Amino acid sequence: MKPWGGRFKGGTDPLLERFSASIDVDRRLYRQDIEGSRAQAEMLARIGVLTAAEKKKVLKGLDEIEAEITSGSFTFSEALEDIHMHIEARLIEKTGEAGKKLHTGRSRNDQVSLDMRLFLKEELRAIDGCIVALLRELLAKAEREKKVIMPGYTHLQRAQVVPFSHYLLGHYYALKRDRVRLTEALSMADVLPLGSGALAGSTIPLDREWVKQRLGFSRVSENSMDTVADRDFVVDAIYAASMVMVHLSRLSEDLILFATQEFAFISLPDALCTGSSLMPHKKNPDALELIRGKTGRVLSDLFGILTILKGLPFTYNRDLQEDKEPLFHAVSTVKDALSIMALCVGGLKVRKENMEKAAGESFMPAVEMAEYLTMKGMPFREAHGIAGSAVRRCEDEGRFLGDMPLKELKKLSPLFERDVFDYIKPRSALRMRRSTGSASFGEVMKVIDAEKKYLGL
């Protein structure tokens, strides 16, 4: 059906009708579309296009339509393509002449951009709220387990002893950075497009400043052509969501590994794991695997939208309609993934003995051994070599550095004294590390205090 079909002889091919309909997807924007239409009606009344009585009628009609859609009594049909046409058609049904005036100076091109921006302003704040909830869980767990130590890894090989809390806070800071990206994406979305029309604005004296205030935008877009061609704000939002997912995916992978029988550093909450249909003993970390898997799909949302935009001629093209599925998918997935991760972090049990056993049974203190010699004046490269030979000797003989008698150490360097054994105890390193941001108990405590303030705790 072509509600404004004056130019056309016949109807649209039914196949195209189905192919081009976006209503199943963009009906999700109905509240934003109606809110934008309210502002449009009020503005049109201010500039004298609608009479006060017409405005009243239109606003009442829009309220009713919102109630119909919310309650499920509204009839959707593919023949009406998208949410904008549905609402306008129903409004005209309800209000006649008044409803027919609502689209004055407006195009679906600026209208859809408005709806998406209103949607994103809400959703980006909601995602940010989910991040904050996860940050709280990470911080609470870090504080509760602040005395526990574990191996820190590079190349997935035991590298240096760290407090488990420092490890958790590492993920915390990655997610904290995501908040900055979300804020940036929010600011990109926070621009009023309405009033740009199809691409060139209007001869009608639309009061864009007033609409900006009415809808709570910070700025009015500056170039009508750019405005209807622009989906950068969608890319920015999906990119911000993608980075969150990448961070969650890396954390998921760690937790999956740490929950294996091989590591046995943590156990995951039963509520987030499933059993096997065949193997009675299995407890599978499905929730985390799904976060990892769904990350792939959110990344495909990012590539999807970028590919849609690449090479599009200025200005609006119908291709842009395809922006909604990736956006909606990315936004919903990232909220769910963040909430599930918060449950997971909150509910995981730390298996302290295993973590600390792994921290003890390793050559990780070789670093501290080298630093010990360095503090006694030996150049670091030389100290590195000596600690390395101590490791080789221990490895050959099946012992750890702390088991080497002082006599043997002295053969490697006369600088070794009895106090070296204190220096290379795993916990000593965590007391002695000094550099800002290092994996030490002192730094962790400072950070926990500062981050509590940051989260308003």
Catalytic residues: 155, 276
Choose the binding region for ligand ARG from 104-112, 132-140, 150-158, 444-452 (rule: CB under 6 A).
Answer: 104-112
Stretch that binds ligand ARG, among 171-179, 245-253, 317-325, 406-414 (CB under 6 A): 317-325
Q: What's the min distance (Å) between Cβ of 297 and ligand ARG?
A: 21
Ramachandran class of 313: left when φ > 0, alpha when ψ lies in -120 to 50, beta otherwise: beta
Q: Which is nearer to ligand ARG, 113 or 165 (CB)?
A: 113
Q: Hey, which residues does 443 pair with through a beta bridge?
A: none
228 binds ligand ARG, rule: CB under 6 A: no
What does the per-residue mask of binding to ligand ARG show for 61-100, with x meaning CB under 6 A? ---------------------x------------------
Smallest separation, CB 99 to ligand ARG (Å) = 19
Q: What is the smallest separation between the CB atom of 119 and ligand ARG, expressed in angstroms?
A: 12
Q: Does 109 bind ligand ARG (CB under 6 A)?
A: yes
Nearer to ligand ARG, 13 or 449 (CB): 13
If residue 315 lies in a helix (H) or strand (E), which one and from where to where? none
Stretch that binds ligand ARG, among 95-103, 183-191, 313-321, 384-392 (CB under 6 A): 313-321
- CB 304 to ligand ARG: min, Å: 15
Q: Does 321 bind ligand ARG (CB under 6 A)?
A: yes
Asked if residue 235 lies in contact with residue 324, where contact means CB atoms within 8 angstroms, the answer is: no
Instruction: Choose one: 126-134, 144-152, 316-324, 343-351; the region binding ligand ARG (CB under 6 A).
Output: 316-324
Q: Assess 320 for contact with ligand ARG (CB under 6 A).
A: yes
Find out whether 384 and 370 touch, Cβ atoms under 8 Å: yes
Helix axes 52-71, 83-95, angle to 10 degrees: 120
Is residue 318 a contact point for ligand ARG (CB under 6 A)? yes
CB atoms within 10 A of CB 180: 10
> Total binding residues for ligand ARG by CB under 6 A?
10
Q: Which is nearer to ligand ARG, 22 or 249 (CB)?
A: 22
Q: b/e string for 427-441 if b means 16 or more Cβ within 10 A? A: bebbebbeeeebbbb
Q: What CA dihedral angle connects 55, 56, 57 and 59, to 10 degrees?
A: 80
**Which lies closer to ligand ARG via its Cβ, residue 148 or residue 228?**
228
Q: At what angle do helices 232-258 and 324-347 cross, to 10 degrees?
A: 30
Q: Is 316 in the site for ligand ARG (CB under 6 A)?
A: yes
Q: Is 49 in the site for ligand ARG (CB under 6 A)?
A: no
Distance, C-alpha 73 to centroid of its chain: 34
Q: Examine residue 315 and say whether the peptide bond preceding it is cis (omega within 30 degrees of 0).
A: yes
Q: Which is nearer to ligand ARG, 8 or 405 (CB)?
A: 8
By CB under 6 A, residue 421 contacts ligand ARG: no
Q: Are strands 349-350 and 266-267 parallel, antiparallel or unpaired?
A: antiparallel
List the x/- string, 139-178, binding to ligand ARG by CB under 6 A. Answer: ----------------------------------------
Of 40, 231, 23, residue with least CA distance to 120: 231
Smallest distance, Å, CB 91 to ligand ARG?
17
Contacts of 70 by beta carbon, 8 Å cutoff, 6+ apart: none
Instruction: Compute the least distance from the CB of residue 264 to ligand ARG, in Å.
Output: 51
Interface residue with ligand ARG, options 86, 108, 136, 214 (CB under 6 A):
108
Q: How far apart are CA 426 and CA 147, in angstroms?
A: 12
| Cα–Cα separations (whole angstroms), residue 349 to 16, 79, 270, 434 | 55, 54, 11, 30
Is 163 or 197 the residue whose CB approaches ligand ARG more closely?
197
* Residue 176, both tokens: 């904290």
- How far apart CA 109 and CA 114 sit, in angstroms, is 9
Return the number of the residue (54 or 82) whose C-beta is nearest ligand ARG: 82
Q: Where are the alpha helices (DSSP H) in 72-148?
A: 83-95, 97-101, 108-144
* Residue 63 C-beta: closest distance to ligand ARG, Å: 23
CB atoms within 10 A of CB 367: 16
- The answer for residues whose C-beta is within 8 angstroms of residue 333's C-beta and 6 or more apart is 241, 245, 294, 297, 298
Q: Which is nearer to ligand ARG, 237 or 337 (CB)?
A: 237
d(C-alpha 41, C-alpha 103), whole Å: 9
Closest CB to ligand ARG among residues 192, 390: 192
Which of 34, 65, 80, 112 forms a contact with ligand ARG (CB under 6 A)?
112
Nearest approach, Cβ of residue 31 and ligand ARG (Å): 16
Q: Is 22 in the site for ligand ARG (CB under 6 A)?
A: yes
State the residues that interact with ligand ARG by CB under 6 A. 22, 26, 82, 108-109, 112, 316, 318, 320-321
